[in-house]
Amino acid sequence: MSFLLRSENWPVGWLLYALVAAALLYALGGRRTVKTNRVRSASFYCGLVTLALAVASPIDAYSDRLFWAHMTQHVLLTMVAPPLLLLGRPWPRMLKPFAASVRRPVARAVLVGPTLGPTRTAGRWVARPLPAFVAFSAVLLGWHVPALYDLTLRDGLVHDVEHLLFSATSLLLWVHLVPGATPRPQLSDGQRVAYGTGALLVSWVLAVVLGFASSPVYSAYASLASRPGGLSALADQQIAAGIMWVPASVPFLIAIFVAAYRWLDPSSGRRRGAATVRDLRPRET
């Protein structure tokens, strides 16, 4: 366990500074809110911590030598951090620390300004349930194609692009799974059950392919002379498949269970939905 204490395994870079800045903006915005929701706040901070663990901890430091560490990194970026961040509903609150003279022109330019019109149109389209699902699935499976995956281990810039796409498409997907993530949900509770089940099955496809492969899939890991812990390349791959199969399924199963509960008890769903819109949204906008 000495690797946990090595300073080089806890890098301090621009991304960590960005996460700290986001936490400060969120905290300052909470001080200007009439009444903050502690569960939402805790979720957002946990999401930031999850991102920090994924990109600035021994998990990242060992990702090029241990496939299971790299898979853990991907699970944190795609299945854990996005729902936690969305539960925190950060955007209204993170804008509050800025003066109105700054917020309003920026909001007008982003929301109604003609310059960003094409970008808004494209964003609305890709944020719809079906395109978001396709984008998430294509990115998750596509980057695990051996040629692309091995490239990410050789080129740091490509690796960063991979993580950016993982995070962006996962946020688009989880917007449709997290209750209250948007004031105008595009899916009913029943549709959300099917949507979450579909995303879960996509991750299982990857887990099955890796777990039942008779030989290492990625040459970058197979060619290593040794691995921490003395793992073989195949055992390392099977552990990674298990991480994608079991721990990565937990967030999806929670989302599916919540949606199913609301679907099977419509009165509870309406009551909870009304409370979210009426009680939470005005306080953080």
pLDDT per residue as tens digits for the range 120-168: 888 888 999 999 999 999 999 999 999 999 999 999 899 999 999 999 9
Whether 143 is covered by a domain: the verdict is: yes
Greatest mean pLDDT among 4-8, 109-113, 275-279: 109-113
Q: Which pLDDT does position 278 carry in this prediction?
A: 44
Whether 164 is covered by a domain: the verdict is: yes
Dihedral Cα 115, 182, 165, 37, nearest 10 deg: 120
Centroid of chain to Cα 223: 30
Token match 């800045």: residue?
21
Whether 2 is covered by a domain: the verdict is: no
User: Band of the pLDDT at 3, cuts 50, 70, 90?
Assistant: low
Whether 76 is covered by a domain: the verdict is: yes
Centroid of chain to Cα 228: 27
Q: Which pLDDT does position 101 carry in this prediction?
A: 82
- Domain of 24, in residue numbers: 8-284
Whether 264 is covered by a domain: the verdict is: yes
User: Band of the pLDDT at 276, cuts 50, 70, 90?
Assistant: very low
Q: Which pLDDT does position 152 carry in this prediction?
A: 93
Domain count, the chain: 1
* Whether the predicted pLDDT of 60 surpasses 60: yes
Whether 173 is covered by a domain: the verdict is: yes
Whether 3 is covered by a domain: the verdict is: no
Per-residue pLDDT tens over the stretch 21-38: 999 999 998 887 667 788
The type of residue at 46 is C
Per-residue pLDDT tens over the stretch 186-241: 999 999 999 999 999 999 999 999 999 999 999 999 999 888 888 999 999 999 99
Whether 120 is covered by a domain: the verdict is: yes
User: Do the Cβ atoms of 163 and 179 come closer than 8 Å?
Assistant: no
* pTM (predicted TM-score): 0.86
